[in-house]
Structure 1
Amino acid sequence: MHKPTISFLFFLLVSKFVFSQNGNTVYRKELTITTENDNYNFTKADRYYSNGFFVKYQWLANQNKKAAIKLRRVEAGQMIFNPHLNRRSLSQVLEQQDRPYAGWLYGSYGETSVYSNDRVVQWDAIAGVVGPASKGEEVQTKYHQFIGLYKIYGWENQVQNEFGVNASVRYYHPLSISNGFTMHATGKAMLGNTFTNASVGVLLKTGKMEKESSTSFFTGRLGSAPKDRRHHAEFVFFLEPMLQAQAYNATVQGPMFRENKGNYVSELNPFIYVVKTGFVVAGPAVSFSAYYHIKQREAKSMIDPLEVYGAFALSFRFR
């Protein structure tokens, strides 16, 4: 069976599951599995941000008068980074290396608060490890062996080990809210010895959407829906362009507090742009999302001007 046929049948199956659910049930918990990969842009090349895999569990917190809805979450994930070339031969790969090999393995705890005036605040406390202890080399090598892809060279030049502690916050301020269209000013910041950066931009959403306090985009549709307590099917298309200032990135510059950072490290571009676009389709108990991520090269040494990768996420909600 051809891959397009398989993809089409999968989408039909997900759509049937999403749109054929009972919307009267109130769900309080959600499990989301997300996969990100640069091969999802059909380039067949593992370069720069090569692969990410994340498992997130969130639940409805005790509500207070300040927030229309409040969620808590825990997440675990791994991110793998490669240079422009990672095949053919070790000598050729190292000769053309334009950013370090790196892995980032982490766990986090966070909260989302959506207010009655459509403001959204999200924060996360994150702890993990960058370097060989993240097992990026082992995961990528075994995965390539399992699916019969090419042999990877060059992991000898990954950054060194360091334990990382980071905190992130995201704020969405409503600029325009109407039936079928929303626009938020967006501010994001991350502080720690693994990643330190700040971003500003806008978030545009359109489609068949519920309010911010009950949409699949922010809250996973946990809790009761407004008015008749029934969640209807959603289809949300979104576009989020941002300008980011970078202060530190251990996957590019190596460990912050180690003198020996690795055999190869790079210098950051201080300012880059990032564009994220995609869609979310959701029923009461299941959501499916797909998005495309375009990022200006984060290291000055990188050959390609852009990092491009895609992602798919599937969410299941429970009582």
Structure 2
Amino acid sequence: MNKKLFLLAASLLAGIGSYAQNRTNEIGFQSDNDSFLGQGSDRYYTNGFFLYYRHAMDVSKMKNDKLANAVFGLELGQKIYNAQSGQLPSAAEVDRPFAGYLYLGASANLLYKDETTLKLTAKAGIVGPAAGGYPIQKFIHNTFGFYELNSWQYQVRNAPQLNLSAEVNKLLARGSWADLTFTAYVNAGTGFNAAGIGPMVRLGNFNQLFQSVSTQSSVSKSSNNTLLHNNEFFFYYKPQINAVAYDATVQGNIFKDHPEPGTQEIVGDINHLVFSNQLGVALTTSRFVFDVGAVINTREVKQMVKSTHQWGSLTVLYRFN
């Protein structure tokens, strides 16, 4: 009897593991904030919040036998940027323009059997007061008893945004508990023009790039993908060099002279070369995806008083059919 119960339990667990590999939808959020790192700072990229929906497409209907997975995504996000503080004695202390960025995005993520991935994204939104940066930050400060804001009059003015991006990942090498991936991206549009390259190192229990947290592809409709692990649990490190041509949260409307006559807008002078380091831990279960990380960037604006800035990030996703 005990043997039969053991076999039944083992069968159920195996079924759960197999089923977990084929969740076809996920929803969830990502929250970024510099306070997550416990340093008491409130500067530069200070807060971000994003809502995600992703749906795995049926690759068998795409007439491309090289595809292992394909994921369609929707994203609603807001980013908020400060100067060195949200409470400053004068305009002379504003070392980075205040800005809010609000957008809606759609993406197509194509993931190949050879562990090359291509993600294409389009985003439409706005930079400036209409993005709601000031009221959201004021709400956060009032709710948690932080200091009173007094410098949002120095934010960039309203500018509509239409931006496109492409991201590529390619597996370079893999061992039993570690692998190395080449990553690159290009952004182009009315607000954000940049490109970046770098490696990504993963250590632990990870899956192939065609179905992994690392490539935003933890959902799949294919039953032919044999994964390395039912659940992922790994550490990652992603250094990157970024070449920046234009940033609307610093420079404002790309089609206008800056600062605009008759305004109090303060426009920063961007650094065209920025180094970033991202590290964290990712975990998946049969239903949930968790990613906890930190990002450290070198100075993005030449006027910045601090040579680096950093923030923490928390992502929680729920997978379902």
- Given that 1:194 and 1:255 are in contact with CA atoms closer than 8 Å, whether structure 2 keeps it comes out as yes
The number of residue pairs the alignment matches comes to 298
Q: Deviations over 1:204-230 (max 9, x none)?
A: 112112222222322124335667789
SS at 1:75's partner residue?
strand
SS at 1:188's partner residue?
strand
Q: Which moved more, 1:229-238 or 1:277-286?
A: 229-238
Say whether 1:111 aligns with 2:105: no
Question: Partner residue of 1:12?
Answer: none
In 2, the alpha carbon distance for the partners of 1:312 and 1:138 equals 22
Say whether 1:23 aligns with 2:23: no
Letter in 1 for 2:53: Y
- Given that 1:24 and 1:231 are in contact with CA atoms closer than 8 Å, whether structure 2 keeps it comes out as no
In 2, the alpha carbon distance for the partners of 1:162 and 1:182 equals 42
Say whether 1:54 aligns with 2:50: yes
In 1, the alpha carbon distance for the partners of 2:116 and 2:228 equals 23
1:159 is aligned, of 152, 156, 171, to: 156
Question: Partner residue of 1:148?
Answer: 145
Q: What 5-or-longer segments of structure 2 have no aligned partner?
A: 1-12
In 2, the alpha carbon distance for the partners of 1:82 and 1:153 equals 11
In 2, the alpha carbon distance for the partners of 1:96 and 1:229 equals 53
In 2, the alpha carbon distance for the partners of 1:133 and 1:45 equals 25
Give the TM-score of the pair, scaled to structure 1.
0.88
The 1:153–1:185 alpha-carbon spacing in structure 2 relative to 1, beyond 3 Å, is same
In 1, the alpha carbon distance for the partners of 2:95 and 2:32 equals 22
Question: Partner residue of 1:82?
Answer: 82
Matches of residues 63-82 of structure 1 in structure 2 within 5 Å? 63=59, 64=62, 65-82=65-82
Question: Partner residue of 1:198?
Answer: 195
- Given that 1:224 and 1:230 are in contact with CA atoms closer than 8 Å, whether structure 2 keeps it comes out as no
In 2, the alpha carbon distance for the partners of 1:224 and 1:209 equals 18
Question: Partner residue of 1:180?
Answer: 177
Letter in 2 for 1:282: T
In 2, the alpha carbon distance for the partners of 1:216 and 1:231 equals 12
Pairwise CA distance, 1:121 = 1.1
In 2, the alpha carbon distance for the partners of 1:235 and 1:228 equals 17
Pairwise CA distance, 1:177 = 2.3
Q: Deviations over 1:71-111 (max 9, x none)?
A: 00000000000001222xx5x15231101000000010001
- Given that 1:104 and 1:134 are in contact with CA atoms closer than 8 Å, whether structure 2 keeps it comes out as yes
Pairwise CA distance, 1:30 = 0.5
Say whether 1:120 aligns with 2:117: yes
The 1:231–1:222 alpha-carbon spacing in structure 2 relative to 1, beyond 3 Å, is farther
SS at 1:68's partner residue?
strand
In 2, the alpha carbon distance for the partners of 1:223 and 1:239 equals 29
In percent, how many aligned pairs have the same letter?
A: 27
The 1:95–1:223 alpha-carbon spacing in structure 2 relative to 1, beyond 3 Å, is same
Pairwise CA distance, 1:182 = 1.5
Letter in 1 for 2:28: T
In 2, the alpha carbon distance for the partners of 1:160 and 1:318 equals 41
The 1:93–1:223 alpha-carbon spacing in structure 2 relative to 1, beyond 3 Å, is farther
Question: Partner residue of 2:250?
Answer: 252
Letter in 2 for 1:301: Q
Question: Partner residue of 1:282?
Answer: 284
Question: Partner residue of 2:7?
Answer: none
Name which one, 1 or 2, has greater alpha-carbon Rg. Answer: 2
Pairwise CA distance, 1:232 = 1.8
- Given that 1:231 and 1:284 are in contact with CA atoms closer than 8 Å, whether structure 2 keeps it comes out as no
SS at 1:311's partner residue?
strand
Say whether 1:223 aligns with 2:217: no
Letter in 2 for 1:44: G
Letter in 2 for 1:241: P
Question: Partner residue of 1:241?
Answer: 239
Question: Partner residue of 1:3?
Answer: none
1:316 is aligned, of 304, 315, 318, to: 318
In 1, the alpha carbon distance for the partners of 2:254 and 2:210 equals 39
Pairwise CA distance, 1:32 = 2.2
In 1, the alpha carbon distance for the partners of 2:304 and 2:213 equals 36
In 1, the alpha carbon distance for the partners of 2:155 and 2:237 equals 33
The 1:229–1:199 alpha-carbon spacing in structure 2 relative to 1, beyond 3 Å, is closer
Say whether 1:214 aligns with 2:211: yes
Letter in 2 for 1:146: T
Pairwise CA distance, 1:181 = 1.6
The 1:230–1:270 alpha-carbon spacing in structure 2 relative to 1, beyond 3 Å, is closer
Q: Deviations over 1:171-209 (max 9, x none)?
A: 112211232222111111100111100101111112112
The 1:77–1:52 alpha-carbon spacing in structure 2 relative to 1, beyond 3 Å, is same
In 2, the alpha carbon distance for the partners of 1:229 and 1:166 equals 34
Pairwise CA distance, 1:231 = 6.0
The runs of 4+ residues in structure 1 deviating greater than 4 Å are: 224-231
Pairwise CA distance, 1:284 = 1.9
SS at 2:303's partner residue?
coil
